[in-house]
Chain A
Amino acid sequence: MEFHWSAEDSEFREELLRFMAEHLPDDWEEISKGGPGSDDQATFSREFCALLADRGWLTQSWPKEFGGKDASPWRHAILGEEMWAAGEPRGPQYMNVNWIGPTIMEYGSEEQKALHLPLISRGDVLWCQGFSEPEAGSDLVALRTLAIRDGDFYVVNGSKIWTSYVNHAQYCFLLVRTDPESKRHRGISILLVPMDLPGIEVREIPSVVGDRYFHEVFFSDVRVPVGCRLGPEHEGWNVVAYSLQYERVGAARYARAARMLDALAQYADECGLLDDPTTLEKLGEARAACEASRVLTYRVIDLRAHGSPPTADTNVARVAGTLAERAVADLAMEIYGRDGLEYGSFADSHFRLAMTAGVAVGTTEVNLNLVAGRFLGLPRDS
């Protein structure tokens, strides 16, 4: 065991921080409050990701044959950590690099690879994830959106919900049922759908999390070329499982929480609260939660760096991440008090971004089920 960064990794982080200091706009703090999917952030992401791409950093963790540099998972983790800590200037494009690209590399046709991977590597394309449906949340395999084969096309009908980033997206990583008779894991396929096809309608679902946060997407007789199918017909579930392992620890949300906590401690200090034992205690508690989330995420990255197949350590890390985000957000509200109630204030912005942590990307309960079964070996029933 060695818990230190190599000289090259430390250098990379330094260089990255200098780069960010130079290229993030002066009002970045304000922009970042809207979250990766806000209009400003999505727009800025094209400019910023292109710069990252110029330096070869955006997809450095990808294999050389796909334009990457075969950089270690640790290098990718450093990039993710610094990006999230700053409020994710890659906007929604973090998803492209983390899991959409790698899934296309694994399962895509030559045409798909030739089309999508360069777009992602250039940092100039926005995607959304069409998984959840009104009747298929945690139980994703209950999905019903149908794609019926008609010659060289699939005709898609149905709807997706909670779809982040869809208002800016050019492509949707869409889960559909291609076999209408099928149930559960069978009969599912994945379509890489251009969002400008006729018959796709996006509606915002107003929420207390923020503006343009949630959307519902309706598909009415949308004709998607068969060439857009990713992986085998009806056997798409394996592809989903593959993508989910990359997705679950994709976002270094603890890094954002830790950064917010430092800012909160500074504010507490300005208010003279660092002499108050109760405040100190709560700050320390939240800091420990962030650090626990960090080391548990590192554990998952380390397993990946050693070539291990995915384990339930990922779910352990996810649960810890949610605890950390909540601890910081709750404390921010407590320390700012009523000032935190104003929309867009420091405490409010952080609180709203953190409040969904236990639900987005698989709920805490679903993660706990997996920890109980796979990590602790507890029986299902009997």
Chain B
Amino acid sequence: MNFELDDDQIAILDAVGGLLDRHAGAARAIELAAKAEYDHALEAALCDAGFLGVALADETGSLEAALITESVARAGGVVAVAAAALIAPGLTGKNLPGPIAVARVDPSRPNRSAPIRFAGHARTLLVLDGEHARIVTLETGDAEPTASNYGYPMARLSRAAMERGDDLPVGSGARLARWWRLAIAVEAVGAMGAALDTTVEFVKNRRQFGRAIGSFQAVQHRLAECAVLVEGSRWLAYEAAYADSEQAGVGKDGVCEERAATAAAHATAAAGRVFAETHQLTGAMGFTREHDLHVWSMRLQALRVELDGVSGQRRAVALARWGRSH
């Protein structure tokens, strides 16, 4: 056991941090959101620097991919980094052409899907369809952009597009779900961390009744409780990302499945709490597009409802741990 970053991980985080300082950040996210655009430049920069390939590289793995994904989420990057760096390599053992969107077939929607993050800009689509996963190359006309305030460019996909392409073998569905859950957890951890930091700064500076509002105990305890949830989510997510590595010795799918679902269940529940408290404690200012909070907070809602939402993540934990198939 060792919870400290090693030198290589520190170097990776420094490098990706430098890149994100130049190419990402709340201001850029706000600018892109106004036009519902995707950050192709950021994706190209991340790809050129090799950050999207670390999951499969010799000296690195899914934990490093998770650390990078978290950093990009913290910086409000408008790129499908989780799908490129974590989910696609985890599912296929390869890097796939980006941008990549991830969707699940919903039998109750015969014509078109619910809004899907990045689907309007994606070239590759990973589809979860029961026991199977599919890889689809998207074509013009497959996606119909959806207006949304939830921090990511979104589009609905036609059912026909989602059914194109060949099924991967039985079990690929569970594998995709597992990596998808891990990705949700990691992205939520990044966004929650940034939302909490922004709010802590706000309450330290904002004064009412002659004192910083962050000195009121009622305010402090709520943020402290958020910190407990975010920290727990963060270490669960790292541990889940590591579970897949050879050294972990737990590379059995069952363990990885449980860990990923646990991280997602805890993080998405925390996301609801962090959303509510950060918006409450930043008052009216926190709702504006002028203040950065919404860059992360609104995304938390989008992450919370993916893959059957918090309750779905929790059921997945229970099934992975106690379900009869294991």
Who on chain A is nearest to B3 by CB?
A302
A277-B5 in contact (CB<8A): no
B278 interfacial contact with A, CB 8 Å: no
- One of B100-108, B232-240, B285-293, B296-304 contacting the partner: B232-240
A280 to B322, CA, bound (A): 9
Please state if B224 and A277 are interface contacts (CB–CB under 8 Å).
no
**Are the C-beta atoms of B1 and A274 separated by less than 8 Å?**
no
**Residue contact B322 to A296, C-beta cutoff 8 Å:** no
Of the listed stretches A170-178, A287-295, A334-342, A350-358, name the one at the interface; the rest are far from the partner chain.
A287-295
Among B9, B217, B324, residue most surrounded by chain A Cβ atoms (within 10 Å): B217
A residues within 8 A CB of B225? Answer: 319, 368
Q: Is the CB of B232 within 8 A of A365?
A: no
With both chains docked as a complex, state the minimum distance between the C-beta of A124 and any C-beta of chain B, in angstroms.
32
Q: Which of B1, B239, B317 contacts A288 (CB 8 A)?
A: B317
Residues of A360-382 whose CB lies within 8 A of B: 365, 368-369, 371-373, 375-382
Scan B262-296; emit 1 where CB is below 8 A from any A CB, else 0.
10011001000000000000000000000000000
Q: Is the CB of B247 within 8 A of A284?
A: no
Residue pair B247, A306 in contact (C-beta under 8 Å): no
- The residues of B that contact A265 with a CB separation of less than 8 Å are 318, 321-322
A379 vs B205: C-alpha distance in the bound complex, in angstroms?
10
Q: Is the CB of B248 within 8 A of A4?
A: yes
Q: Which residues of B contact A4 (CB under 8 A)?
A: 1, 242, 247-250
Chain A residues with CB under 8 Å of B249's CB are 4
Judge if B95 is at the interface, Cβ distance under 8 Å.
no
| B1 and A320 form a contact (CB under 8 A) | no
Q: Which stretch of B74-82, B154-162, B207-215 is in the interface? A: B207-215
A369 to B224, CA, bound (A): 8
Contact with A along B302-326 (1 / 0, CB 8 A): 0000000001011111110111100
Interface range on chain A (Cβ under 8 Å from partner): 35 or more
Q: A299, B235: Cβ atoms under 8 Å? A: yes
> Are A285 and B265 also in contact (CB < 8 A) when A298-B235, A372-B220, A382-B212 are?
yes
| Closest Cβ neighbor of A302 among chain B residues | B3
A3, B231: Cβ atoms under 8 Å?
Answer: no
Q: How many CB-defined contacts (below 8 Å) exist between A and B? A: 170
The answer to whether the Cβ of B45 comes within 8 Å of any Cβ in the partner chain is no
A378 touches B4 (CB 8 A): no
Q: A285-B314, A382-B211 are in contact. Are A375 and B227 (CB under 8 A)?
A: yes
Q: Is A5 an interface residue (CB 8 A)?
A: yes
Residue of A nearest to B210 (CB): A382
- Whole-angstrom CA separation of A260 from B211 in the bound complex: 46
Residues in chain B near residue A277, CB distance under 8 A: 311, 315
Interface membership of A153, Cβ < 8 A: no
Determine how close the nearest CB of chain A comes to the CB of B182; give it in whole angstroms: 13
A74 close to B1 (CB less than 8 A): yes
Q: Are A378 and B266 in contact (CB under 8 A)?
A: no
Interface string of A258-269 (1 = CB under 8 A from B): 000010011011
Contact B224 A284 (CB under 8 A): no
> Does residue B133 face the partner (Cβ distance < 8 Å to A)?
no
A316 touches B (CB below 8 Å): yes
Are B235 and A284 neighbours in the complex by a CB distance under 8 Å? no
Starting from the known contacts A2-B2, A376-B220, A376-B227, 4 additional A-B residue pairs (CB-CB under 8 Å) come to: A285-B269, A292-B229, A323-B228, A378-B203
CB<8 Å pairs between A and B, sample of 14: A3-B243, A3-B248, A4-B250, A274-B322, A283-B317, A284-B316, A287-B265, A288-B236, A288-B269, A292-B232, A296-B232, A305-B1, A368-B225, A382-B211
